[in-house]
Amino acid sequence: MDVLFQNVRELVERAEQEGKLISEIMIEQEIGITGRSREEIMKQMDRNLTVMEEAVERGLNGVHSVTGLTGGDAVLLQKYIASGKSLAGDLLLDAVSKAVATNEVNAAMGTICATPTAGSAGVVPGTLFAIQHKLNPTREQMINFLFTSGAFGFVVANNASISGAAGGCQAEVGSAAGMAAAAIVEMAGGTPQQCAEGFAITLKNMLGLVCDPVAGLVEVPCVKRNAMGAANAIVAADMALAGITSRIPCDEVIGAMYRIGESMNPDLKETARGGLAATPTGKALAAKIFGGAVVQGQ
């Protein structure tokens, strides 16, 4: 097994030394680890991209979950964008709407691509399909966007956690947002180091985010957290592209996230026993859906 990097520092150094994009380093690592050909690996990621596209399209057409807790918000956002009244700007809200669309499809038991998890699956595609209209990437560049995201996700998964049950929502949506920011930076022409800065800036601002799903379902507040993760990613990417750096190195931010997750109260790690799940309304919704029996740890 040929592991080319184990942390962000090694990833950036290799990319800089070899004059390659981070996405290319990740592709080479996949080849080394799996033993598959470049063509096979690219085809698989192309299929993942297609799943993401179909999920966004379905969500933008309007879906609702069986519980009725989520659905239709992606459509509302697109209508608001079309009204010309938005304050945040069309690109940012388009990313938010497409992130929401993906997670509404997940909540409606549709097919999505976990990036890095199902509960955080909206951030990467949401940002990708929004900036697509700004940067006009080729299909290959869109696939590379996913490899860049994956490179940072690989580091987090192997040095911290991408599990809400282990590290809270900071580990899921926080990681997804950082992955998206790094990939946005690369697609926009940023350097490997700027990709790392984008990730670090993003995750720093999501540290401590708890996982408190109402009724134990990946709906409330998960869908809207993906929306905020997408917005965070785009702003952080712009900051990195502007030359702003994180005073705390990327790997240290990831380490801090891990330690915060380890010290987090178990009630705030996907158990549906704390946070928003423990509010009067959260408990009432759980009782309504499950007749008083909350399904924990989903």
Taking only the tens place, the pLDDT of each residue in 239-294 is 999 999 999 999 999 999 999 999 999 999 999 999 999 999 999 999 999 985 54
CATH number, domain of 262, equals 1.10.4100
pLDDT score at 1? 63
Q: Rounded mean pLDDT of 113-133?
A: 98
pLDDT class of 34 with cuts at 50, 70, 90: very high
Tell whether 58 is covered by a domain: yes
pLDDT score at 292? 53
pLDDT score at 61? 98
Torsion of CA 216, 218, 224, 226, to 10 degrees: 130
Tell whether 1 is covered by a domain: no
How many independent structural domains does the chain possess?
Answer: 1
- From CA 260, how far away is CA 146, in angstroms rounded? 27
Q: Per residue in 127-185, pLDDT tens?
A: 999 999 999 999 999 999 999 999 999 999 999 999 999 999 999 999 999 999 999 99
3-class state of residue 265 by DSSP: coil
Tell whether 297 is covered by a domain: no
Which residue would you say has higher pLDDT here, 296 or 101? 101
- From CA 123, how far away is CA 173, in angstroms rounded? 7
Q: Closest by alpha carbon to 184, among 232, 254, 117?
A: 232
Q: Per residue in 199-214, pLDDT tens?
A: 999 999 999 999 999 9
pLDDT score at 76? 98
The answer to whether 168 and 268 are in contact (CB under 8 A) is: yes
Give 244's strand partners: none
pLDDT score at 2? 77
The answer to whether 172 and 192 are in contact (CB under 8 A) is: no
Task: Look up the domain containing 256 and give its range.
Answer: 8-290
Tell whether 298 is covered by a domain: no
Q: Per residue in 44-81, pLDDT tens?
A: 999 999 999 999 999 999 999 999 999 999 999 999 99
Which secondary structure element, helix H or strand E, spans residue 178, and what is its range?
A: helix 175-187
- From CA 49, how far away is CA 47, in angstroms rounded? 5
pLDDT score at 291? 85
pLDDT score at 295? 47
Tell whether 261 is covered by a domain: yes
